[in-house]
Amino acid sequence: MSLLQVTNLHATVGAQDEQKAILKGLNLTVNPGEVHAIMGPNGSGKSTLANVLSGRPGYTVTEGSMHLADADLAELEPHERAQIGLFLAFQYPVEIPGVSNMEFLKASVDSLARARGEDQTNTATFIKHIRQLATSVDLDPQFLKRGVNEGFSGGEKKRNEIMQLLLLEPKLAILDETDSGLDIDALQVVAEGVNRYKSENNGVVLITHYQRLLDYIVPDFVHVLADGKIIQSGDKSLALELEDKGYAWLT
Amino acid sequence: MTRDEAIIKKHTEDVYKYGFTTDIDQERAEVGLNEDTIRYISAKKNEPKWLLDWRLKAFDVWKKMESPDWAHLNISAIDYQSISYYASSKKKQYNSIDEVDPEILKTYEKLGIPLEEQKMLAGVAVDYVMDSDSVFTTFKEKLSEAGVIFCSISEAVQEHPELVKKYLGTVVPQRDNYFAALNSAVFSDGSFVYIPKGVRCPMELSTYFRINERNTGQFERTLIIADAGSHVSYLEGCTAPMRDENQLHAAVVELVALEDAEIKYSTVQNWYPGDENGKGGIYNFVTKRGLCGGARSKISWTQVETGSAITWKYPSVVLRGDDSVGEFYSVALTNNRQQADTGTKMIHMGKNTKSTIVSKGISAGRSENCYRGLVRISPTAENARNFTQCDSLLIGGECGAHTFPYIENKNNSAIIEHEASTSKVSDDQLFACQQRGIDSEKAVGMIVNGFCKEVFRELPMEFAVEAGKLLEVSLEGAVG
């Protein structure tokens, strides 16, 4: 069975009386072990795809379907989607003052365990594990005591997202422009984290503007999204071609 | 339905979980207020003449006063003649818990108050107040070994009249304000604490208040005196059953800290807030004030206010002794149609006096939450220091948060700092939590608890846990 199956997906954004169609019949299949890169010009619907899959309020699916393994995502609340293994690395990670990173992540791990009927991780084990993960993405473990993303630099926020990816080990990871605003060192740390996470059992959807990230995370497929649809798919060479020629020749 | 609307809707569907009444025989005064009512109360309590005179003087003052209207509160007129000013359960004193009306015990059980055995094991002496009378007092003996007096104020009037006479009304005089005057005239019962010189009270002192009888105003009067070099921590927790009509509560709490003494007073207030349309609920008009009378004394107020339809409350500290310290830590949560106008007054008179104010207001539903604070530095208060932090958190789009800080400085050497912030629980924050598997209800609880952390830290351990839970209960079903 495919990991992610998106079929003829149409979605709008905005309040009821002023809905704007963004996705207009998108098809995407991600099998376990695959990395898919989604590229495309500004406003083509890349982030909308991430938001619709993860269930962010404000978006409405008007047609088509989306499944994670055998679960119909449209029928699940955002937290339930997370609980069955859908992870979104945010383009703009939000700050939650007063709630420490540690507390937040423990609540997350516990919620996922509860939903899956697993035992809760003991706190000492958890702390040890999360400290190691923080160090592995070049974050000072002191960050864990601070409020979620509170006062973090752009790069720190993105590395925090990758640390969470490694902690939660989801079935499907969607990275929404995780590379944007990163310097080359941070980019390498992020890419290394994603490569560490990757396995034959899970899948990655990389949303990116730039070919640069794909030098470090090699995609199995590259898709070009334009005007709410995938208009071209290929292998890694497509990304290089896009870098060379831009999107104009496709649209 | 937008997310905010969903939040509000869920909020308004919350049901007060402590809404039930206790069926016990009660004795009560005739409805209405006049001199005879006061004589009746005083006679019932077998009070000495000086106290009756004191009450009557207060009544005289009260008649000439007007209900204050400066608070940011919308209060419908209170008919003071339709209230009964005295109610007490007919059975009076209990030597053991077995003698206590089982109905009363059942009530406490439903409230989840960790009763008798648990409490005793936990080392907390509990002075239960059911309506107007103290029903049960534990640990008295252990306390008296240390020389600590902890009893109802009625009992103190009989047993320690000299102390009561010396301190009653010295911090909050009869004419202090409308509600304090009313309380002085008709106060029913409350707690009395005296910690002798140099004594560190061997346990946390705790009282649970509960308004039970229909149409009975409760006029609690508490007096705590910490003699030189002593130390006491006092915990007060409140909750009341569901009522359709409004119930008036006008309490007065006076604290006196002499030289080098320290008083820590913590409150968790969870009275019936009224229904989602603002029907019913407790009117809570409280005057709480502490006097740092001696040098190097310290008074610290910590309050978690989640209940009552209306809260009008400003626990204050008069810093008269040199080097004395006043603190105020507050969490006030309002929901539905609740209104809170709360804050503090720090009156600096002595040299090198210091005060700290940390106020956290959380508004949800269509509630109005207001911080009102006064920092006054008198000409005599050389090198006074104040730090104030006022933070407001909004949940949904129909509630209000207001801050009215007053600073009056008459001494050039003073350093006064004021910080304020207003924030909103954003959809993005909630979604970020949900995307990590945390449902929105838990997420709101986590964010609100995080917001209040600085205050909870000041609560005794036992209360901190309770307070955290209370906020979550108050926000149950907050978002959908």
CA angle B35, B36, B39 (to 5 degrees): 90
**pLDDT at residue B23 tops 80:** no
Q: Residue B388 has what pLDDT?
A: 96
pLDDT tens sequence across A131-168: 999 999 999 999 999 999 999 999 999 999 999 999 99
Find tokens 């029903």 and name the residue: B135
Using DSSP bridges, classify how beta strands A59-68 and A71-72 pair: parallel, antiparallel or unpaired.
antiparallel
Per-residue pLDDT, averaged over B150-163, amounts to 91
* Minimal CA separation from B98 to chain A, in Å: 42
A4-93+166-245 homologous superfamily = P-loop containing nucleotide triphosphate hydrolases (3.40.50.300)
Q: Cβ of B437 and A97 within 8 Å? A: no
pLDDT at residue B186 in the model:
92
Say yes or no for a CB contact (<8 Å) between B3 and A94. no
Beta carbons of B438 and A57 less than 8 Å apart: no
What pLDDT digit, counting tens, does each position of A14-65 carry? 877 788 999 999 999 999 999 999 999 888 999 999 999 999 999 999 999 9
Which pLDDT value is given to residue B113?
52
Q: Give dist(CA B310, CA B281) in Å, integer.
A: 8
Burial of B457 (0-12, 13-18, 19+ CB in 10 A): exposed
Give the pLDDT band of residue A175 (cuts 50, 70, 90).
very high
pLDDT class of B21 with cuts at 50, 70, 90 = low
Distance of CA B92 to the CA centre of its chain: 26
Average confidence (pLDDT) over B368-396: 95
- What is the structure's pLDDT at B217? 53
Chain A residues touching B446 at Cβ < 8 A = 99, 103-104, 107
- Here the tokens at position A69 are 């393994």
Greater pLDDT, A49 or B308: A49
Amino acid letter, residue A53: L
Residue B390's φ and ψ, nearest 5 degrees, are -125, 115
The arithmetic mean of pLDDT across residues B117-131, rounded, is: 43
Q: Measured between beta carbons, which residues in chain A are less than 8 angstroms from residue B429?
A: 94, 96
Confidence of residue B151 (pLDDT cuts 50, 70, 90): confident
Tell me what pLDDT residue A61 has.
95
B243 versus A235: the higher-pLDDT residue is A235
CA distance B344 to B359: 9
Picking from A239, A107, A76, the residue whose alpha carbon sits closest to that of residue B447 is: A107
Distances in Å between the Cα of A37 and the Cα atoms of A97, A213, B84, B354, B392 are 33, 10, 75, 60, 43
Q: Which of B187, B211, B189 is nearest to B131 (CA)?
A: B211
Please report the residues numbered 143 through 182 in chain A whose beta carbons come closer than 8 angstroms to any beta carbon of chain B. Answer: 147-148, 164, 168
Choose the closest CB to B438 out of A88, A100, A111: A111
Q: How far apart are CA A55 and CA A72, in angstroms?
A: 12
Q: Is the pLDDT of residue B245 over 60?
A: no
Q: What whole-number distance in Å separates Cα of residue A238 and Cα of residue A172?
A: 23
Question: B87 or B70, which is more confident?
Answer: B70
Given a cut of 70, whether residue B440 has pLDDT beyond it is yes
For chain A, what are the domain ranges? 4-93+166-245
- Residue (of B284, B283, B294, B344) closest to B320 by Cα position: B294
Are the C-beta atoms of A206 and A38 separated by less than 8 Å?
yes
Mean pLDDT for all residues in chain B: 82
What is the token pair recorded at A63? 């047609």
Please count the other Cβ atoms lying within 10 Å of the Cβ belonging to residue B50: 13
Q: How far is A240 from chain B (nearest CA, A)?
A: 32
Residue B328: pLDDT above 80?
Answer: yes
Tokens representing residue A151 in the block: 């006062």
The answer to whether residue B212 scores a pLDDT higher than 70 is: no
- Residue range B409-426: mean pLDDT, rounded: 93
Quickly count: other Cβ atoms within 10 Å of residue A29's Cβ. 14
What are the two backbone dihedrals, phi and then psi, of residue A171, each rounded to the nearest 5 degrees? -75, -40
Nearest CB neighbour to B434, from listed A79, A99, A103? A79
Closest of A94, A229, A221, A217 to residue A149, by C-alpha: A94
Tokens of B257: 């800290």
Please name the residue of chain B whose CA is at the shortest distance from the CA of residue A89. B435
CB contact under 8 A, B447 and A99: yes
User: Do B436 and A83 make contact, defined as CB atoms within 8 angstroms?
Assistant: no
Is the predicted pLDDT of residue B64 greater than 50, yes or no? Answer: yes
Distance of CA B420 to the CA centre of its chain: 24
What pTM was estimated for this model as a whole?
A: 0.80
Torsion of CA B45, B51, B53, B59, to 10 degrees: -80
Set of chain B residues whose Cβ sits within 8 Å of the Cβ of A79:
433-435, 437-440
Q: How many residues does chain A have?
A: 251
Tokens of B132: 């107007």
Q: Is pLDDT larger for residue B281 or for residue A111?
A: A111
Q: What is the pLDDT of residue B106?
A: 57
Complex ipTM, two decimals?
0.96
Looking at residue B95, the DSSP 8-state letter turns out to be: S
Cβ contact A108–B426 (<8 Å): no
Backbone φ and ψ for A87, nearest 5 degrees, come out as -125, 135
With both helix axes pointing from N to C terminus, report the angle between B49-64 and B178-186 in degrees, rounded to the nearest 10: 150
CA distance A250 to chain B (A): 34
Residue B472 CB partners (closer than 8 Å, separation 6+): B445, B448, B449
Report the pLDDT value the prediction gives residue B244, as an integer from 0 to 100.
43
Q: List the single residue in A15, A57, A104 with the smallest CB-CB distance to B427.
A: A57
CA nearest A46: which of A206, A220, A248? A206
Determine the distance from the C-alpha atom of residue B115 to the mean position of all C-alpha atoms in its chain, rounded to a whole number: 21
| Strand ranges for A44-184 from DSSP E | 59-68, 71-72, 86-89, 96-100, 147-148, 172-176
Half-sphere exposure of A239 (CA within 13 A, CB side): 24
Lowest-confidence pick of A20-29, B45-54, B178-187, B471-480: B471-480
pLDDT band at A249 (very low <50, low <70, confident <90, very high): confident
Average of per-residue pLDDT across B224-237: 92
Looking at residues B374-394, what average pLDDT do you find? Answer: 96
Contact residues, chain B, for A104 at CB < 8 Å: 433, 436, 438, 446
CB < 8 Å from B in window 201-240 of A: none
Residue of B nearest to A103 (CA): B446
The pLDDT assigned to A196 comes to 96
The answer to whether the beta carbons of residues A230 and A199 sit under 8 Å apart is: no
Supply B290's token pair. 């502490």
Q: Indicate the residue type of B380.
A: T
- Return the number of CB contacts < 8 Å for A and B: 83
By the CB < 8 Å criterion, does B441 face chain A?
no
Phi/psi for B313 (5° steps) reads: -160, 125
- Phi, psi dihedrals of residue B107, rounded to the nearest 5°: -60, -50
CB atoms within 10 A of CB A103: 18
Work out the pLDDT band at B222, boundaries 50, 70, 90. very high
Q: Which of B26-30, B397-401, B474-478 has the highest mean pLDDT?
A: B397-401
